[in-house]
């Protein structure tokens, strides 16, 4: 009798580059962002003839990293290819942002030939000192796994790094020397699979402890942060809230993660900067379930939260805590499944009521207050809303969202200019969803070139460019009339004509409510890329941002400085 060879042990002979590309296909990537450079050209040539993923070239490496970030938020995973030194360091700000905000990006850099690395050759795109560890060390600071690929380690290290990226939801860093991409090695035929289960006993202990804590509490609330989105657990959270009769609040970093039309959703918790009623409800709960929560200055009104950790059940990506007991080796996904199965349902009449919504008064002028009130009725179910830091993010944070709408922002890392290339990346992942970008004029100037990539690929976002004459978010902290907060005025509505000679865009500037309403009429189902430049007063901003500006000034420079420089503050 002959023994059949297990599928998992069947091997192929393929080049290192082809194996890497096959693994990217197997984890579901249809696109890879980046910029070509001589150390990655062989890999890109292999991509040209492969069945996927498709190469998406960007205007520069920083924009490519931001595009990969946006793609990862919508798709769940992304990849980036740059060249050594000049390319990867240009992208590093975007990779660091993804590291901070828990986004899985496979960052691949084409390195000099392995022979030059071995002898410490003085080659271009290096510091000319023979050091080939410095770039690896830079990448190591903002990734959860790293490897320099060789023929001997390619299979093991590529699979190890991909697994870490997918499970830990943070970037990984792969160096592929230029002369190795075409080298053939023996590779497994079996497709790449990632499986993980929590430690059974630890999970049991944690869930039992949590259920006892919940049963002994007369009031329960749930506080959500962005890891709920990274692990795609939003629907489970609302299911758990329904069984517990618990209200759900989100951190500013998780705006749009929970369906805001759900009966249990009450709004954003931001410490003392929360909307009326939300801070009191969250901080008074006898038991607060925290899901991946991180209290950072930009989402807590400069650390104005007052939450007793003794009252909390903390569920993080891969560990949990109840009072003083830590539980390692448990996954948020498994914890939510078990809690839903084991908690006793609460009668319907005890379900929480939403706080009253704040009504915004109508205006005869085009102001920030009126604009965001109007945008709340403009947004549709299923839209992807991208918000740049500053007035845009503050405005979106206070705007109620319809069902299935999602938000892309970078509230923690906070790199200005991020949102335009992130919109491009998200559009490449889901072009069928309507994308609405809100970005300020100062931020737009940092990454404006990526508008050309949007037009190049025939994408159709709606871009609201909020022109308030410079860095209003900084003016609200310090330097209301200082030159360092000014930017050169551009003819923003003319830029699409510069980046494309086709009839694939519609741009205009609006100065009044009537002009804006006329422009909005063309946006219901956009057939072209639409850019609407909205002219606003320089110091006009959402009220929440004005308060935050003062809080930042106090946090950054101190109370004594504030008192001494009161006449310099806005």
As a whole number of angstroms, the distance between CA 333 and CA 315 comes to 10
Longest dimension (CA), the chain: 92
* Number of C-beta neighbours around residue 498 at 10 A: 11
**Which residue in 493, 426, 492 sits closest to 459, CA to CA?**
426
Which contiguous run of DSSP H or E holds residue 314? strand 312-315
* Number of C-beta neighbours around residue 390 at 10 A: 25
Task: Let me know: does 385 contact 374? Beta carbons within 8 Å.
Answer: no
Residue tagged active-site, from 18, 88, 441, 533: 441
The single residue listed with the structure tokens 């050309």 is 452
Tokens representing 507? 């741009």
**Is there a catalytic annotation at residue 61?**
yes
**Is there a catalytic annotation at residue 565?**
no
Name 78's Cβ contacts closer than 8 Å, sequence gap at least 6: 29, 31, 32, 33, 68, 69, 71, 72, 103, 104, 105, 106, 425
**Is there a catalytic annotation at residue 441?**
yes
Task: Let me know: does 516 contact 534? Beta carbons within 8 Å.
Answer: yes
Name 509's Cβ contacts closer than 8 Å, sequence gap at least 6: 467, 492, 493, 532, 533, 535
User: Exposed, middle or buried, 279 (CB in 10 Å: 0-12/13-18/19+)?
Assistant: buried
Tokens representing 24? 């990217």
**Is there a catalytic annotation at residue 308?**
no
What angle, 0 to 180 degrees and rounded to 10, lies between the N-to-C axes of helices 86-100 and 61-75? 30
User: Exposed, middle or buried, 204 (CB in 10 Å: 0-12/13-18/19+)?
Assistant: middle
The single residue listed with the structure tokens 């072209």 is 528
Residue tagged active-site, from 87, 271, 320, 470: 470
Task: Let me know: does 74 contact 429? Beta carbons within 8 Å.
Answer: yes
* Number of C-beta neighbours around residue 200 at 10 A: 11
**Is there a catalytic annotation at residue 373?**
no
Three-class DSSP category at 364: coil
CA 51 to the chain's CA centroid: 28
**Which residue in 82, 71, 72, 69 sits closest to 43, CA to CA?**
82
Instruction: Go through the chain and tell me how many residues it has.
Output: 570
Name 152's Cβ contacts closer than 8 Å, sequence gap at least 6: none
Residue tagged active-site, from 468, 469, 485, 505: 468
Three-class DSSP category at 410: coil
**Is there a catalytic annotation at residue 38?**
yes
**Is there a catalytic annotation at residue 125?**
yes
DSSP secondary structure letter of residue 274: S
DSSP secondary structure letter of residue 346: P
Residue tagged active-site, from 42, 61, 260, 533: 61
Name 365's Cβ contacts closer than 8 Å, sequence gap at least 6: 512, 513
As a whole number of angstroms, the distance between CA 484 and CA 477 comes to 13
Task: Let me know: does 343 contact 244? Beta carbons within 8 Å.
Answer: yes
**Is there a catalytic annotation at residue 414?**
yes
Residue 53: cis peptide before it, omega within 30 degrees of 0: yes
Residue tagged active-site, from 13, 38, 186, 286: 38
Residue tagged active-site, from 474, 505, 506, 549: 474
Active-site positions read 38, 61, 124-125, 414, 441, 468, 470, 474
């Amino acid at each position: 009798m002959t023994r059949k060879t297990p599928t998992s042990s069947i091997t192929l002979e393929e080049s290192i580059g082809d194996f890497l590309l096959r693994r990217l296909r197997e984890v579901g990537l249809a696109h890879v962002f980046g910029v070509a450079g001589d150390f990655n050209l062989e890999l890109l040539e292999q991509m040209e003839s492969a069945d996927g993923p498709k190469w998406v070239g960007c205007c520069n490496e920083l924009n490519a990293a931001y595009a990969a970030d946006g793609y990862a938020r919508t798709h769940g995973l992304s990849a980036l290819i740059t060249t050594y030194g000049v390319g990867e360091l240009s992208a590093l700000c975007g990779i660091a942002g993804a590291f901070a905000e828990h986004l899985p990006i496979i960052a691949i850099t084409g390195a000099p030939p392995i022979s030059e690395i071995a002898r410490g050759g003085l080659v271009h795109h290096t510091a000319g000192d023979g050091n080939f560890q410095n770039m690896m060390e830079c990448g190591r600071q903002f990734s959860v796994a790293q490897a320099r690929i060789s023929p001997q380690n390619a299979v093991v290290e590529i699979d190890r790094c991909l697994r870490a990226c997918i499970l830990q939801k943070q970037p990984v860093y792969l160096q592929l020397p230029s002369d190795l991409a075409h080298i053939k090695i023996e590779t497994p035929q079996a497709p790449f699979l990632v499986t993980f289960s929590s430690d059974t006993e630890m999970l049991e202990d944690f869930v039992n402890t949590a259920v006892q804590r919940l049963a002994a509490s007369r009031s329960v609330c749930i506080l959500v942060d962005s890891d709920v989105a990274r692990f795609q657990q939003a629907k489970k959270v609302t299911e758990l809230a329904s069984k517990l009769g618990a209200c759900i609040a989100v951190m500013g970093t998780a705006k749009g993660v929970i369906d805001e039309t759900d009966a249990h959703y009450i709004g954003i918790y931001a410490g003392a900067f929360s909307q009326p009623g939300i801070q009191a409800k969250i901080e008074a709960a006898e038991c607060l379930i925290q899901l991946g929560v991180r209290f950072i200055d930009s989402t807590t009104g400069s650390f104005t939260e007052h939450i007793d950790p003794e009252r909390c059940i903390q569920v993080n990506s891969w560990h949990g805590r109840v009072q003083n007991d830590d539980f390692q080796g448990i996954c948020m996904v498994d914890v939510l499944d078990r809690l839903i199965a084991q908690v006793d349902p609460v009668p319907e009449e005890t379900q929480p009521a939403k706080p009253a919504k704040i009504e915004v008064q109508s205006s005869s002028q085009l102001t920030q207050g009126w604009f965001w009130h109007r945008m709340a009725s403009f947004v549709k179910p299923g839209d992807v809303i991208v918000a740049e830091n500053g007035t845009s993010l503050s405005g979106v944070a206070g705007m109620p969202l319809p069902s299935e709408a999602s938000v892309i922002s970078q509230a923690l890392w906070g790199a200005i200019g991020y949102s335009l290339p992130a919109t491009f990346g998200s559009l490449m992942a889901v072009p069928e969803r309507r994308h609405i970008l809100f970005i300020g004029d100062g931020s737009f100037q940092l990454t404006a070139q990526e508008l050309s990539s949007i037009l190049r690929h025939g994408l159709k976002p709606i871009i609201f460019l909020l022109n308030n004459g410079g860095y209003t978010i900084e003016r609200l902290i310090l330097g209301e009339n200082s030159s360092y907060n000014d930017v050169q005025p551009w003819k923003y509505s003319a830029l699409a004509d510069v980046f494309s000679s086709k009839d694939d865009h519609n741009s205009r500037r609006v100065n009044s409510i009537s002009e804006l309403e006329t422009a909005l009429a063309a946006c219901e189902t956009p057939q072209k890329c639409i850019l609407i430049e909205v002219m606003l007063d320089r110091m006009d901003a959402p009220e929440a941002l004005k308060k935050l500006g003062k809080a930042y000034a106090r946090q950054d420079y101190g109370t004594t400085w504030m008192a001494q420089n009161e006449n310099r503050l806005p």
